[in-house]
Structure 1
Amino acid sequence: MSMPPDPRFTITLTCPDRPGIVHGLTGDLVRAGCNVVESQQFSSPDTGAFFMRVTVDAPAGQTAEGLRAAVALSAGEFTMDLRIREDSARMRTLILGSTDEHCVNRLLFAQRAGSLPIDVAAVVSNHPGLSELATFYGVPFHHIPVTRETKPEAEAQLEALIAELDVELVVLARYMQIFSPQLAQSLAGRAINIHHSFLPSFKGARPYHQAHERGVKVIGATAHYVTDDLDEGPIIAQETIPVSHHHSAAQFVEMGREVEGRTLTQAVRWHAEHRILLDGKRTVVFH
């Protein structure tokens, strides 16, 4: 009978930069019987903050709570904002969509293929059309209609569903609704949106048409965290593709769909692998 593999954990931290942080943390981990298999760090010259992501193989039976206790002295000494997660735990994720299917489909396909470490708890839409796609992938579907008059009730229903399903990450996969400031703030750092433009240019509605009118030579997509400032959240991932005067606005839209799906999926993967740390209005992404 084969023994189960030793547990692997990823630890991320942010703290004020000063000498001794890496030595202190890794020393605690070695004393706890861990083997460091990956380590990345960054000191921000702009904010004076230190960021670190370290992956360790731990002794059999070790838990996240046990590791937290093992590094407690260093965490306190250096005032660390510390997170520890076992790598085998897939992130509970809720996908929001409206009528466009391409981003939702890409996420669900990547999860089924095993290339995205998430567990999609449900697909939620303000339109009923995505129910067939969700059913195809065997994912529960919830229709929560939204109008100007019913938006507070719809958001309350969405928040209740997030709590009920123990959701850790909310992904706006071309969800064509703007969160209220209250909802955006309650999901701070755990809601990712895909904007079909290369932010900070062409914010708001119909960005491809705005880009076409300006005669741009590249179009792209931006995945960012949701904040209560529309399209102003910290940027996670971006991608561009070349276009020319031969292309119509409709062609911009069609060409952009593939870029949107790739960019959003990449951002979700990095978040689920705990590769993103916030540095004010910016992100530190450990690739």
Structure 2
Amino acid sequence: MGWFWGNSSDDADPTKKLDPSLRGYLEQESPSKYTPTTAGVQAQDRTPSHEKPAEESPSPDRAAESATSVPSASLYPDGRYAHLWKDYKSLEQIEGPTTSPAEKVVEKFKQRKGVLNRAALENCAEEQEVLSMCYKSGDFTERIKARMTLCQKQNYQFSRCYTMQLKFLQALGYGASFEWDTDKEERIQMHADKLYHRMMDYERRVAEAEADGREPPPLKSLFKSEAEMAAMPDTSQSSDELVIPGGEQLPAGYKPRKPLKNMTPHERELEVQALKQQMAQRHVYLEEVSPVLRAEHEAKAKRREKFTSWFGETIGSWLA
């Protein structure tokens, strides 16, 4: 029996009254199997699947809280996986520092060579560009000539700039400290470039004076001021001695790679200052590894004492 306010269960399937062959054809051609609706289906089930409720945008307070709760070691600044990174500890924090003083000195020595080369190239960027343009500029004949002569003049200027800048950086202690201070190292790099151009300016004025038959300008120290030079005792040298501005001499027994007589006065002074800095740097390195050397010396003395009591002085010293 039917009801006035609804359909019976027999009328729930509209395809029930169709011809069986037509119904079979519809089921065969339909992309998805037809499922009859029931009276108990709710309205939210009939909502299309492609319509998704809008995601709630995080409030400003919640966003600020997530930003401040991001661990420093996290690779994701937006806060992803913050719960995994909050308890993260590096290997150095867990096991402690594993670099020995000797390894630290060796690593610092290698790093300093790299930073010195990079700083010298930066200070000689103009000379390097001039050398590069020598091979590229001009017509075909000039480029062939440049390649045949290897741009001898420009190559010499760049090579001398790089060598002198490297010496000035070493003499001023660039990259010598175990703790890198960017502002300090930049000031040293700029001062090294300033001293180099001051030396080149003096050599240019000397060459002009010789060409005009005039007296060369007075020789001044690059590393010492007028007040420091006035406070020093008079160390005037005879004409047969090599002049070194600043009044300092090379340590006894030290022979530079290039003879002093083949250097300009400022190059001699630079050689002295670079040697002084090299000796000071060696002293710093020795102080860094002195605890290790002292411990090794004490251990060797104990072994010698033990082996000497067993095998005698000669064999014990050899085994230790």
TM range (shorter): under 0.3
Higher helix proportion = 2
TM-score w.r.t. the length of structure 1 is 0.23
- If you compute each CA radius of gyration, which structure gives the higher value, 1 or 2? 2
TM-score w.r.t. the length of structure 2 is 0.21
Higher strand proportion = 1
Higher RCO structure (Cα 8 Å, ≥6 apart)? 1
